[in-house]
Structure 1
Amino acid sequence: MTATADTEAAANELMPLAEYLGSVLRRLRALPPLDLDLTQAHGNVLANDVLAPHPYPAFDQAAIDGYAARWEDLSSAGRVGSHPSFGKFEGGQRPVRLNVVGDLGAASWRPVRLTPGTCFSVAAGAPLPLGADVVVPVHWTDQGMAAVEILHAPKRGSGVRRTGEELAAGQVLAAAGTYVSPAMVATFAASGIGHVVVRPSPRVVVVATGDELVDVGRPSQPGQVVDANSHALTAAAVEAGALAYRIGICDDDPEGLRGLLEDQTLRADLIITTGGTGTGPGDMLRRVLSRRDPGRGAVEFTDVALCPGATLGFGTVGGEEVPVVCLPGEPGAALIGFEVLARPVIQLLAGAEPVFRRSVKAHLLETVSSPGGLREFRPAAVAERRGGGYTVQPLAGGPYTLSGLAEANGLLVLGERVTTAAAGSTVDVLLLDRRR
């Protein structure tokens, strides 16, 4: 049997990635909804549809600075020239003279009414006088104070915002599952909404395990490995929308490891560990978490048809049964494991839809090979083609996945049956869409 055949035979014993993800995600539910003040809701996912309780604008108002008038009083004004907001006008240049009977600002509240031959000087946002149906821009007048000459007549309704013109009462402002953006916060506030019901951002704790680990700020030495994973995975969790906390390094001490994880269940909605998922003599995490102790939960470690990194762990810890995701210790495999497993878990807990990153079909620029029987995620540079579509350039993978990920804006996905993807073929690519 050839080496390739041996690899494929071994891969056939692994659980397909799609099947594994389905089995994990079916065990989870979104976090319970929470009523939040509007200023705290940004970045969370709405738990319910949000309806406008009031119209916006809430009253008829001036859209510009100018003079609020009755269009009938202006119809004989000259209408030569054009304006980008009011269109093109034709006719003579005879001005109309109106008496200015008052000034209205955005803080004005007393109702006032226009009579024929009069107008009000108004600021943008001011309530519109009863009977007014047009606001003449200041630069179309002589800017008079007691009386004003209007040189051009705009169209009826110009310079005016009517009640509910932008948002009607009862209108759906945002659907459940939508991320609350800054513009959405403004829309809610303008419609009279002070609180919204959201799914809270998951609290994620990140722990790196291994006696060999040392903290950043020094190079690795024989017997020592710098802990890159807990820093990277904490950043990745924040990018995914979580409130992430880096606990740091935990030695391979069984009681210390179990005690640390149980302590973190008091502050976490999800725990992510890295390292110790294998079956070697130093893989203490797997031995500790695989034990099914009553009231302490258990984690199942599964060999998944995934490249890089084949073993992933998922289960619960502590009496609160907090979900835990266990990722490999190799940094590139840990980050790929986060993308395919931990990130969808965070999205599901947050109530987001969809839980997976957006994918596109892309034109492959370079022939690549892939291990048979494994679904490979390879760093890639994705670009939009002139005229539509995408191209994808593979970046360093395999043992160099970490350096490739540092440059990547996408992940090239090669299925279990793909051993070679030829240049010019169409492939699937996950878009990383990094937040800036």
Structure 2
Amino acid sequence: MTATADAEAAANELMPLAEYLGSVLRRLRALPPLDLDLTQAHGNTLAADVLAPHPYPAFDQAAIDGYAARWEDLASAGRVGSHPSFGKHEGGPRPVRLNVVGDLGAASWRPVRVTPGTCFSVAAGSPLPIGADVVVPVHWTDQGMAAVEILHAPKRGSGVRRTGEELAAGQVLAGPGTYVTPAMVATFAASGIGHVLVRPSPRVVVVATGDELVDVGRPSQPGQVVDANSHALTAAAVEAGALAYRIGICDDDPEGLRGLLEDQTLRADLIITTGGTGTGPGDMLRRVLSRRDPGRGVVEFTDVALCPGATLGFGTVGGEEVPVVCLPGEPGAALIGFEVLARPVIQLLAGAEPVFRHSVKAHLLETVSSPGGLREFRPAHVAERRGGGHTVQPLAGGPYTLSGLAEANGLLVLGERVTTAAAGSTVDVLLLDRRR
């Protein structure tokens, strides 16, 4: 049997990534909802429909600074012709003269009525006088105080905002799974909402395991590896919308490892570990967490058709059965594992929809090869093409995935049956939106 055939035979024994993700995500439920004040709701996802209890605007109001009047009184403004009141303008455009009977501001509350031949000076946001159906902008007038000459007649309804024109009472403002943005907070507040039901941001604890690990600030030496993973995965969890806590490094001590993880269940909705997922003599995490101890949870480690990083772990820890995701120890593989497994788990716990990154079809700029039987996620740079569509430039992958990810804004996805993707072909790319 050739080396290629051996590789393909080994890959056939791996679980397809889509099947694995489905089996994991079906076991999870979104976190219980919380009723939060609007000032705390931003960054969370809604747990239920939000209905407008009141219309917006709540009353008829002036949309601009100007003069509120009856359109019938203005219809002739700007027309050429004679009028008994406009002798000095005979033969030219005719203004309309109205008496200004009052001034209204945004804080005005007493109801007033406009009568024929009169108007009110109004500020934007002020209640519209009864009978008024137009607000003339200031620069279309002579800006008179006791009386005003209106040089042009705006269209009926111009400068006016009617009750419920933007948002009607009972209207659905947003549905469950919607991410609460600052503009959405403003919309809720404007329609009279002070609290909303949201899914809380998941509390995520990140732990790196391995006797070989040392903290950042020094170079690696034989027998020592700088812990890049716990820092990177904590940042990735925050980027995904979680409240993330870096515990740091845990040695390969079975009881110490189990005790540390169980202690974290008191403050975590999800635990992410890195390292120790293999079957080597130093892979203590897998041995400890795959042990079936009643009341302490169990983690299943699965060989997945994924490149880079083939072995992923998922299960629960402690009596509270807090979910735990176990990622490989190699930094590039750990970050890819986070993208394909841990990030969707965080999104699901947060009640976000969809749980996966947005993807696009892109025109491949360079021929790439991929290991058969594995779904490869390769760092890439995506750009929009003039006239529409996208192009994608592959970046360093394989053993150089970490450096490739540092400059990537997308992940090129090559399926299990792809061994070569030719330049000019169309491929799938996950977009890495670094803002969320």
Structure 1 position 352, deviation (Å) = 1.2
Aligned partners of 2:82 and 2:91 also within 8 Å:
no
For the 8 Å contact 1:410–1:429, the answer to whether it is kept is yes
Distance 1:119 1:361, change over 3 A: same
- Deviation string, structure 1 residues 110-150 (Cα, Å, up to 9, x no partner): 11111111111110000000011111111111111111111
C-alpha separation in 1, matches of 2:10 and 2:288: 26
Partners of 2:108 and 2:142 lie apart in 1 by: 24
Q: 1:81 to 1:287 in 2, by over 3 A?
A: farther
> Quick one: structure 1 residues 80 and 203, their matched pair in 2 at CA, closer, same or farther if it must change by over 3 Å?
farther
Q: Comparing 379-388 with 59-68, which one deviates more in the overlay? A: 379-388
Deviation (angstroms), 1:286: 0.8
Q: Tell me, yes or no, if the aligned pair for 2:8 and 2:372 is still in contact at 8 Å.
A: yes
User: How many angstroms does 1:356 deviate by?
Assistant: 0.9
SS where residue 230 of structure 1 aligns?
helix
CA contact (8 A) 1:86 1:158 kept: no
Provide the C-alpha distance between the structure 2 equivalents of 1:80 and 1:31, rounded to a whole number of angstroms.
70
Secondary structure, aligned partner of 1:377: strand
What TM-score results when the alignment is normalised by the length of structure 2? 0.96
Q: 2:73 & 2:348 partners in 1: Cα distance?
A: 61
Runs of 4+ in structure 1 over 2 Å off: 79-92
Residues 266/88 of structure 1: CA separation in 2 closer, same or farther (3 Å cut): farther
CA drift of 1:89 comes to 17
SS at match of 2:231: helix
Q: Is the 8 A contact 1:360 1:431 kept in 2?
A: yes
Tell me how far 1:180 sits from its aligned partner.
0.8
Q: What CA distance in whole angstroms lies between the structure 2 residues aligned with 1:84 and 1:326? A: 89
Q: Distance in 2 between matches of 1:405 and 1:79?
A: 67
- SS in structure 1 opposite 2:108? coil
1:297 match? 297
Cα separation, partners in 2 of 1:377 and 1:69, compared to 1, 3 Å: same
Output one character per residue of 1:51-79: Cα deviation in whole Å (capped at 9) or x when no partner.
11111100000000011111111122215
Separation in structure 2 between the aligned mates of residue 137 and residue 144 of structure 1, nearest angstrom: 12
Contact 2:142 2:149 in 1 (8 A): yes
Between the two proteins, the alignment pairs up a number of residues equal to 436
- Counterparts of 2:305 and 2:393, CA distance in 1: 24
Structure 2: distance between partners of 1:363 and 1:53: 48
CA deviation digits over 1:144-192, x for unaligned, max 9? 1111111111111111000011111111111111111111111111010
Q: What are the superposed Cα offsets for residues 71-103 of structure 1, whole Å, 9 maximum, x if unpaired?
A: 111122215999999999999522222111111
Q: 1:68 to 1:89 in 2, by over 3 A?
A: farther
- The 1:378–1:92 alpha-carbon spacing in structure 2 relative to 1, beyond 3 Å, is same
Task: Provide Cα deviations, 1:236-289, integer angstroms capped at 9, x if missing partner.
Answer: 111111111111111111111111111110111000000111111111111111
1:365 Cα offset (Å)? 1.1
In the other structure, the counterpart of 2:215 is 215
Distance 2:127 2:6 in 1: 79
Equivalent residues of 2:86, 2:94 under 8 A apart: no
Pair 1:98–1:88, CA change in 2 (3 A): closer
With normalisation by structure 1, the TM-score equals 0.96
Alignment pair present for 1:272 and 2:300: no
Change (3 A) 1:289 1:80: farther
Q: Identify unmatched segments of 5+ residues in structure 2.
A: none
What SS does structure 1 have at the residue aligned with 2:416?
A: coil
Q: Is the 8 A contact 2:81 2:91 kept in 1?
A: no
Contact 1:78 1:91 in 2 (8 A): no
Residue 131 of structure 2 aligns with which residue? 131
Q: Judging changes above 3 Å, is the alpha-carbon distance between structure 1 residues 150 and 85 closer, same or farther for their aligned structure 2 residues?
A: closer
3-state SS of paired residue (1:316): strand
CA distance in 1, matches of 2:246, 2:105: 52
**CA 1:87/1:320 → structure 2, altered by over 3 Å: closer, same or farther?**
farther
Cα deviation, residue 420, structure 1: 1.1
Question: What fraction of aligned residue pairs are identical, expressed as a percent?
Answer: 96
Alpha-carbon deviation of 1:380? 0.8
Residues 80, 94 of structure 2: 8 Å contact kept: no
Q: Conserved in 2, the CA contact under 8 Å of 1:86 and 1:155?
A: no
Comparing 330-339 and 248-257, the one that deviates more: 248-257
Q: Flag structure 1 segments of 5+ consecutive residues without an equivalent.
A: none
SS in 1 for 2:21: helix
State which drifts further: 323-332 or 155-164: 155-164
Q: Deviations over 1:193-240 (max 9, x none)?
A: 111111111111111111111111111111111111111111111111
Alpha-carbon distance in 2 for matches of 1:178, 1:296: 35
Given the superposition, is the C-alpha separation of residues 41 and 83 from structure 1 closer, same or farther in structure 2, using an over 3 Å criterion?
farther
Whether the 8 Å contact between 1:79 and 1:89 is mirrored in structure 2 is no
- When residues 79 and 125 of structure 1 are mapped into structure 2, their CA distance, relative to the original with a 3 A threshold, is farther
> What is the SS of the residue equivalent to 2:79?
coil
